[in-house]
Copies of this chain bind each other. A is one copy, B any other.
């Protein structure tokens, strides 16, 4: 447990001043080749590594990047985390993982922590109802809103074209001949929930299909809600021939429920899942799903954050990048077997 060596140790070893050591390591031009070489060699030999705390103190900011996610077990977020971690690693930054469970209190605490650590910036999937102080802290630090968007903070936002996602799903089902389509999504309190539902609604309207509000379920975005929503939908006297889901977790729950209820997919019910993960290829004959460009989005937002932090956070108008989702057609959707009711 002895402390790592410092510049002072190198300086003592070579009978140089600490300044010279510092400048050598920083590759300053005002140092002779020979001295630099000797310093480098000694640093290597002693196993010197800079003390990031000291550097952070001097510079006023650390090299820490925060990642504030509601749930790291969610495949969507862990995929994003991987991409973000890669970016950080490439540029020698530390990635601090903060999991909120969508709890505003935890979110705030993590934000305070990152501020305490003088983080360079952070990438946040904002919780549904951020605390007032959370908003204040967000405004005080360079950051990027990821996927979800909290309109109360007018900052940069990297998201998915959520309406387009549901448009794809709905269009696919309509093209197959479905007319009675249910929707299971997350609460409209979240921007993504709102936009997805909107995309669904509009696509049906454009196709001249009336929307039965009893088939539209929007609630919390966990597996349990998905299960319950599907249960309610299956209990409808006039069942839909297809369901679209607008969230990865609830998609799992809904599918689970349908299977447990013995509903045949896709013959009795076409099912469009949300987000993609290796395991989703398995479900039945594979799950038709809306795939999101997670990696690309994560990489883009991290790059952006670095640029922003480097430029001292001076971006004029907030940047807004929306990537397009795509439809992965697999075995859980098909032409409806029951003849759709006449309008």
Which residues does A use to contact B, with CB under 8 Å? 1-4, 49-54, 56-57, 60, 62, 64, 67, 71-73, 75, 78-79, 81-82, 85-86, 89, 92, 94-99, 106, 109-110, 112-113, 115-118, 140, 142, 223, 252, 255-256, 259, 277-284, 312-313
Given A53-B57, A110-B89, A118-B53, does the pair A282, B283 have CB atoms closer than 8 Å?
A: yes
Indicate which residue in B50, B71, B97, B115 contacts A4 across the interface (CB closer than 8 Å). Answer: B115
Q: Which of A50, A73, A79 has the most CB of B within 10 A?
A: A73
Minimal beta-carbon separation of A4 from chain B (angstroms): 6
Set B56, B97, B142, B255: member contacting A53, Cβ < 8 A: B56
Are B281 and A256 closer than 8 Å at their CB atoms? yes
Chain B residue contacts of A280, Cβ below 8 A: 279
Contact of A99 (CB < 8 Å), options: B60, B85, B99, B118: B85
Q: CA of A57 to CA of B58 in the docked complex: distance in angstroms? A: 11
Whether A96 pairs with B96 at a CB distance below 8 angstroms is yes
Q: Are B72 and A115 in contact (CB under 8 A)?
A: no
Asked if B82 and A51 sit within 8 Å, CB to CB, the answer is: no
Contact indicator B85/A118 (Cβ below 8 Å): no
Smallest Cβ-Cβ distance to A74: which chain B residue: B78
In angstroms, Cα B180 to Cα A110, docked, is 53
Q: List 17 A-B contacts (CB under 8 A).
A: A1-B313, A49-B115, A51-B57, A53-B54, A54-B57, A72-B81, A73-B75, A73-B79, A85-B98, A95-B96, A256-B282, A259-B282, A279-B279, A279-B280, A282-B282, A282-B283, A284-B284
The answer to whether B118 touches A51, judged by C-beta atoms less than 8 angstroms apart, is yes
Q: Shortest beta-carbon distance, A238 to chain B, in Å?
A: 27
Closest to A54 in B: B57
Bound complex: CA of A57 vs CA of B37, how far in Å? 28
Contact A113 B94 (CB under 8 A): yes
- Find A1's partner among B78, B82, B142 (CB 8 Å cutoff): B142
CB within 8 A of A117: which of B94, B115, B283? B94
From residue A87, how far is it (CB to closest CB) to chain B in Å? 11
